[in-house]
Structure 1
Amino acid sequence: MKATLKWLREYVDFYFSPEELANAFTMAETEVESISYFAKGIEKIIAGKILSLEKLQGEGNLFLCQVDIGREILKIVTAAPNIKEGMVVPVVPKGTMLPTGITVTAQTFRGIDSNGVLCSEQDLGLVDHSEGVIKLPKNQAIGKSVPELVEAEDVVFELSPTPNRPDCLSVFGLAREISAITGNPLHLPEIKLKESGLDTAKLVSIEIKEPDLCPRYTARIIQGVRVGESPSFMKRRLKAVGVRSINNVVDITNYLLMEFGHPLHAFDFDFIRGKKIVVRCAGSGEKFKTLDGVERALKKDTLLIADSEKGIAIAGIMGGENSEVSESTKNVLLESAYFDPVNIRRGSKYLGLSTEASYRFERGADPDILKYTSERAIALMQEMCGGEVTKGIVDEYPKKISRKTVLLRSD
């Protein structure tokens, strides 16, 4: 489990140094295995202003830029598609090591020396893939270090919560620990959601055939989304905690997984036949192709999420290729559910398939947080992907999960 210092501070106020916080976690029986600095070395990157640019003759889209870095003007050749005269950008002069471990050297392009690099997010190790250089504020002092402006310098904690503490398998759960240690209040993210159109219950129904294995299942729908790249803040934050960016819809579900520890799954709603979700066990000899492209033979007690014709996900473990969210997806059904920990553990072990979702479900998720995480995720989709959220949530809860009360003495 990884969490960043900045992310923790969004939910609770505290003034511990990284080392003090690590010690506080360990004393609270949540061991911190390591402390690292995400994109360490970015303080060596400086701000530069593009004074002029000239397209080089020949194939490709190479530009020669004259870049003012305060102490001198550098000639830098770049293929960045978004550069313009007057832009202020992060610059790495020759001889400087990038956070990725690569040292910038002088290069020659078509007989012209290039004495540095104009940095993209990928160059700085902030994301796995990016196009174009980072655009800094125009009032940034030329020649100054830029770590705060690109919001990259952050402390990353890697923790090992014990198996009986699934509540610590999220950033918010760890913030709750800090709240308990310090006495400072928690801050829940504000949700801004606008619903419109038809009622969700008129678009999809849910049938739970195995209430012992799935006591609760909820669904929301958002229509007319634009699937694409996630905003920089989300890609950077996911990379910092070890999660690969896929697209904005899927990234939001992974973001909520790390934020609140509750796995969500997004389906392409147009591939759900009969507009019905059926939670059932696999049939005899049934096979299912998961998102990793592997066709898997299922046992009879493997819990499936299905539509009226076929399986579309292995419950609590991994989704299927036949309902995957892609760039062509327009309508999304968002699942937020609770599954029996023992069944998920057995299924994961039998299939040899352990995921971030199964890791949390098999340790025990929180059935009372389903609606909140669903609402927060769908609100983020509306903000980042566009679209209209249909009215309400379909919430099937055939087997109520009772909370246990523990009496404590005050002495």
Structure 2
Amino acid sequence: MTFSGYLRPDGKVGIRNKILIVAVDECADGICRAIAQDFDDAVVVTNFVTCMMAGNEELLHNIVGVGKNPNVAGAVVVAMGCGSIDPELVAAPIRETGKPAYSLRAISQGGTRKAVEHGRELAAKVAEFAAACERIDAPLSKLTVGVKCGGSDASSGLASNPTVGVAVDKLIDMGGTVIGGEVIEFIGGEKYLLERCATPEIREKLDRIMKAEERRWSIPGADVEIMSVGNSVGGLTTIEEKTLGALHKFGTHPVQGVLEASRHGIETPEKPGLHLAEVTHLCGASAINFAAMGAQCIVWTSGGSGFNNEIIPVIRVSGNADLFTEDQDIDARAIMRGEATSQQVGEALFEKIIEIANGSPTAVEGIGYSYCSIYQKDQRIESCLGLLR
């Protein structure tokens, strides 16, 4: 089986053909959005954290990773020009993949209008390159899918997540790659995940990042708390119950790798199969983590909620009869009614993944604002916790 995608100079294949407009500091955000207005496929990613470089390497690695993502055809990287982050730190690594990537310092252009005008000229060059990108039939070994859950309720563990697990297994059986995120939601199911690791080295690495994540999100004197009101109202009683339902979405294959996001870089899969990853549980920011790690789309399970991302499409799966809307791509409610199996709905999800990879939009792709937020671990806190590596 194949999918039709955009061949990139580095041999990767994208399922979308985006023009990335990056503001490396928040002062340049307005300029970037003005540049993007002229281009239908332009996506703005802004660093709202700081204009300082030191301590923010993980954030910059995330942005670079997004630029290298196969769904991105090329980039324009903009800085105001008075901060410490050189836009070439982002543009240069993207160019190494063979894509066009241009940098612009706004204050050197002689004014905001001139900066926007020049930025549009650069973006037009990227758009021209994108339009010329060849579309090819690619094997599923070129497809990487991220999987995540959120807004979880009782239907998630019983219907939505097992459905994803079926699709994940089938995709891996056909040579594809799956990235499982949300380390915080591994807590309570550590034993099962560690048993699935393909090698002792992978097991040690997974154990280390799970313990580190638990420390980050714990408060002295209290257990780690990531149960939301929606989780509890939806019928979940403990974090362990939530976790054991969430683990179903990773299917049954061995864990072939663990991907870290750190000040040293953002790791990407080195082989096909299932990889667990240091992808944040914060929904919008998780999409940037997935994109930086090379995923071309995300499968998202929930009671009925969801989020968008303009770089990598989000396929939504829900089995909640009360909250199901037209926003969902896959209907798993029949499982809750006893009228279908996760195997049957999982087969439909697999077909939907291929359909989206071939260019079809998700149920709400392009509808609603899709802010590309960026998460990074605070290096000062990492140092205080003894987790800085």
Q: TM-score, normalised by structure 1?
A: 0.23
Q: Name the structure, 1 or 2, with higher relative contact order (CA <8 Å, separation 6+).
A: 2
Which structure: greater strand fraction? 1
Greater helix share, structure number: 2
Alignment TM-score, normalising by the size of structure 2: 0.24
Larger of the two Rg values belongs to structure? 1
